[in-house]
Amino acid sequence: GAVVSQHPSWVICKSGTSVKIECRSLDFQATTMFWYRQFPKQSLMLMATSNEGSKATYEQGVEKDKFLINHASLTLSTLTVTSAHPEDSSFYICSARVSGGDEKLFFGSGTQLSVL
Amino acid sequence: GDSVTQMEGPVTLSEEAFLTINCTYTATGYPSLFWYVQYPGEGLQLLLKATKADDKGSNKGFEATYRKETTSFHLEKGSVQVSDSAVYFCALSPPFGNEKLTFGTGTRLTIIP
């Protein structure tokens, strides 16, 4: 089946620094990618929808200037957490949608971010 | 808004035991319902789905029935194996599309030999 590669799998950073998370579709082109986050003991929540070549659509309550999403190619989307703070510590997961015919979602393995 | 309430884990069972992971939902209309599984070190994978009331989704010995009257989609397996150890997520999406998924919290399942 289709594979979505997400890196890094975990990252620890200092407060105030920026962190970039990459999501790549390895064997298919993904016109749409999604970014989720999950705080401890809470649900996996959609943060934003990213379409190749256009601006991302953010869910209510998600700061677009803090969580920068770039989807410059059909196989790569990046999420940059700018000026990270401890409350941004969370599990971030991307998914990519295969379009045309039987549409399906494929997920990355997730990134655990810890901000000190 | 839409929401999914899932049985809290972790759940630990012996091999060959019967498994039930409860999932209930709140949504308008007739959403599609899903169970996703995440094995260690891997991404979430679709395990099974149901798109209308009374539908039964099944895969790899797992089953779940879309119960509109109880707004539930409980996951069951008659005899679990060590290889079933994973995190299981219940989710829903609006009718006719799986673009915007609403997930539960996930249930970590550990099967001991």
pLDDT tens digits, one per residue of A54-102? 889 999 999 999 999 998 888 999 999 999 999 999 999 999 987 665 5
Nearest neighbour of B43 by CB, restricted to A38, A45, A108: A108
Q: Which two tokens stand for residue A80?
A: 């940059």
**Per-residue pLDDT, A103:** 62
**Per-residue pLDDT, A100:** 61
Contacts B104 to A, Cβ<8 Å: 43
For residue B40, give the DSSP letter: T
- Residue A107, chain B, CB below 8 Å: the answer is yes
For residue B110, give the DSSP letter: E
Contacts B93 to A, Cβ<8 Å: none
Nearest neighbour of A43 by CB, restricted to B36, B46, B103: B103
pLDDT bracket for residue B70 (50, 70, 90): very high
pLDDT over 80 (residue A2): no
Q: How much is the mean pLDDT over chain A?
A: 90
**Per-residue pLDDT, B96:** 66
- The string of pLDDT tens digits covering residues A33-44 is 999 999 988 888
**Per-residue pLDDT, A30:** 86
pLDDT over 90 (residue A52): no
**Per-residue pLDDT, B88:** 96
Q: What residues are paired with A62 via a beta bridge?
A: none
**Per-residue pLDDT, A28:** 85
- Residue A87, chain B, CB below 8 Å: the answer is no
Contacts A95 to B, Cβ<8 Å: 43-44
pLDDT over 60 (residue B98): no
Q: Give the A:B interface size as CB pairs under 8 Å.
A: 53
Looking at the complex, report in whole angstroms how far the Cα of residue A65 sits from the nearest Cα belonging to chain B: 22
Nearest neighbour of A43 by CB, restricted to B38, B46, B104: B104
pLDDT bracket for residue B99 (50, 70, 90): low
Nearest CA in chain A to B7: A41
**Per-residue pLDDT, B97:** 59
Among A16-30, A61-75, B61-75, B91-105, the range scoring the smallest mean pLDDT is: B91-105
Higher pLDDT, A3 or A112: A112
pLDDT bracket for residue B8 (50, 70, 90): confident
For residue B72, give the DSSP letter: B
Q: How far apart are CA B63 and CA A72, in angstroms?
A: 40
Mean pLDDT of B80-85: 97
pLDDT bracket for residue A1 (50, 70, 90): low
Q: How far apart are CA B48 and CA B57, in angstroms?
A: 5
**CB-CB contact of A18 with A11 (8 Å):** no
**CB-CB contact of B73 with B23 (8 Å):** yes
